[in-house]
Amino acid sequence: MPNYHIRTYGCQMNDRDSESLACLLDALGHTRAESEETADILLFNTCSVRDQAERKALGKIGILKKLKRDRPDLVIGVFGCMAQNLGRSLLDKLPHLDFVAGTDRLHEIPELIAEALDGRNGLVSTDTSEDMPTVLTGHERGQVTGYVSVMRGCNQFCTYCIVPYTRGSERSREPEDIVREIQTLADGGTKEVLLLGQNITAYGLAEARESGALDPQASPFANLLHAVHEVSGIERIRFTSPHVRYMNDAFVDAVCSLPKVCKGFHIPFQSGSDRILKLMNRGYTATEYLDRIKAIRARLPDCSFSTDVIVGFPTETEEDFEATRSVMQKVGYDMAYIFKYSERTGTKAAERLEDTVPEDVKLARNQILLTDLETGAEARNQACVGQERQVLVTGPSKRNASRWSGRTDANKVCIFEPTPGMQPGDLVRIAITHTTSHSLFGNVM
Ligand code: 5AD
Ligand code: SF4
């Protein structure tokens, strides 16, 4: 059978899609190519969230034209968000492509590959559906952390964001199916799960609304956390990304009371200016966001937060930016993804608002937030010196294989000397001896 290689761009959801597709292709008898150069089938899982992500993939696939000319049997397929977003027009840009598969068509990729191997090219499959498409549940063996997709799509329509258009409407999987998948992972030795959804706190809400059972006091996602918590063998539960709009008290209670739920929370806030938040259609004010942070912190004083922020959204003034800076100072994030606004064709922001903030201003604002972040994170890490942390061992450190690394409950990287017999997946206690803004260093106790 021809061998394949998958190159993945973008978010953890894409990582998960690529992993499950690889497992399906393996099950069908394909093998993994040693490298991109030796592959018979080259697959690209693409991202559209920022212009740069699309350009990177287009550039990479563009230069394969010559290779395809030299090796006409080579199959090149594109899937993921950019495939959904650009669809058939990708074939005009890249006529050497064999197929384009949309975000709901992952399960069809083996068939598309088979057709391409038979010499049929220029295939496009980008239909979306209101129903959950076939879910691929295969996982790589022996991973300490397993990624589990619990829902697809997003109904929020934040005005800057392409995701609701590329990943379609919110559809949640049945809790029983999710728990079964996680139990299988645990049986294979996985200790931690990362639950994935573009708008994960809205898990189950579209279905509840449809069946007339929507209860604003309840949280189907909190119920899911309770169910996953029961899975024996799983020691830690993480999730991404929540939306403040759905972080009701039932959610706060679940994350604060369930011991396996990690106490490092990624909670995107995007902007600290109420005027900008409104233009973004985020559905909360800075005060409401901070109130949810406060509610969690009141019960978990040692918890930590990370976030997503956009600088340079259309019309963002110095004052708006300072409001963002102030929210960041108030929360004291350990980590943040800071993005420069990137206009996405088809979104409400692109239709209605001019991309007014000059690139150099976006860059300067980005730098200021990064510096603030680094200073704060360094001080918070420094405060850990002399304390102990429970660390889930991931394995030899990437930089220096004689040292091992793991993650604390708050998702901080911790580096230490391994002890004899130590295995990835072990939970150990580490005494912290020194720190940087990115990592903790210590000794196994
Ligand atoms: N420009 C810049 N950043 C964006 N994000 C989403 N869309 C855009 C855009 N058009 C960021 C948001 C989101 C993260 C995944 O990507 O911060 O939370
Ligand atoms: Fe995009 Fe907003 Fe949905 Fe997140 S919640 S995927 S930012 S539309």
Give residue 140's pLDDT.
96
Give residue 97's pLDDT.
96
User: Which ligand minimizes its atom distance to the CA of 52?
Assistant: 1
Same domain, 376 and 392: no
Cα of 29 to ligand 1 centre, how many Å? Answer: 38
The reply to whether 439 falls in a domain is yes
Q: Are 105 and 79 in contact (CB under 8 A)?
A: yes
Q: State residue 294 phi and psi, 5-degree precision.
A: -65, -40
The reply to whether 179 falls in a domain is yes
Report which ligand 1 atom has the smallest distance to the Cα of 268: 18
Same domain, 176 and 221: yes
Give residue 2's pLDDT.
95
Same domain, 326 and 397: no
Give residue 401's pLDDT.
81
The reply to whether 27 falls in a domain is yes
Same domain, 153 and 230: yes
Q: Give the number of domains in the chain.
A: 4
Name which residue sits closest to atom 16 of ligand 1, judged by CA. 49
Same domain, 393 and 377: no
Same domain, 222 and 120: no
Same domain, 108 and 25: yes
Give residue 438's pLDDT.
87
Question: How many angstroms separate the CA atoms of 152 and 171, rounded?
Answer: 5
Domain of 225, in residue numbers: 137-262
The reply to whether 202 falls in a domain is yes
Which of 381, 396, 417 finishes a domain?
A: 381
The C-alpha torsion from 7 through 9 and 15 to 18, rounded to 10°, is -40
The reply to whether 418 falls in a domain is yes
The reply to whether 317 falls in a domain is yes
Same domain, 92 and 185: no
For residue 179, give the CATH number of its domain. Answer: 3.30.750.210
**Average pLDDT per run of 10 along the chain, which is 445 residues long?**
96 97 97 93 97 95 94 96 96 95 96 95 92 94 96 97 96 98 97 98 96 93 98 98 96 98 97 98 98 97 95 98 98 96 97 97 98 94 95 92 93 94 96 93 95
Cα of 162 to ligand 1 centre, how many Å? Answer: 9
What HEC string does the chain produce?
CCEEEEEECCCHHHHHHHHHHHHHHHHCCCEECCCHHHCCEEEEEECCCCHHHHHHHHHHHHCCHHHHHHCCCCEEEEEEHHHHHHCCHHHHHCCCCCEEECCCCHHHHHHHHHHHHCCCCCEEECCCCCCCCCCCCCCCCCCCEEEEECEECCCCCCCCCCHHHHCCCCEECCHHHHHHHHHHHHHCCCCEEEEECCCHHHCCHHHHHHCCCCCCCCCHHHHHHHHHHCCCCCCEEEEECCCHHHCCHHHHHHHHHCCCECCEEECCCECCCHHHHHHCCCCCCHHHHHHHHHHHHHHCCCCEEEEEEEECCCCCCHHHHHHHHHHHHHHCCCEEEEEECCCCCCCHHHHHCCCCCCHHHHHHHHHHHHHHHHHHHHHHHHCCCCCEEEEEEEEECCCCCCCEEEEECCCCEEEECCCCCCCCCCEEEEEEEEECCCEEEEEEC
Same domain, 141 and 258: yes
Mutate to test the pocket of ligand 2, among 12, 81, 158, 339 (most ligand atoms within 8 A of CB): 158
Which of 381, 416, 435 finishes a domain?
A: 381
Amino acid 294 reads K
Same domain, 377 and 396: no
Give residue 398's pLDDT.
85
Which of 103, 125, 147 finishes a domain?
A: 125
User: Which ligand minimizes its atom distance to the CA of 271?
Assistant: 1
Same domain, 10 and 120: yes
Question: How many angstroms separate the CA atoms of 217 and 327, rounded?
Answer: 27
For residue 414, give the CATH number of its domain. Answer: 2.40.50.140
The reply to whether 118 falls in a domain is yes
Cα of 256 to ligand 1 centre, how many Å? Answer: 28
Same domain, 149 and 241: yes
Widest Cα–Cα separation across the chain: 64
For residue 115, give the CATH number of its domain. Answer: 3.40.50.12160
The reply to whether 132 falls in a domain is no
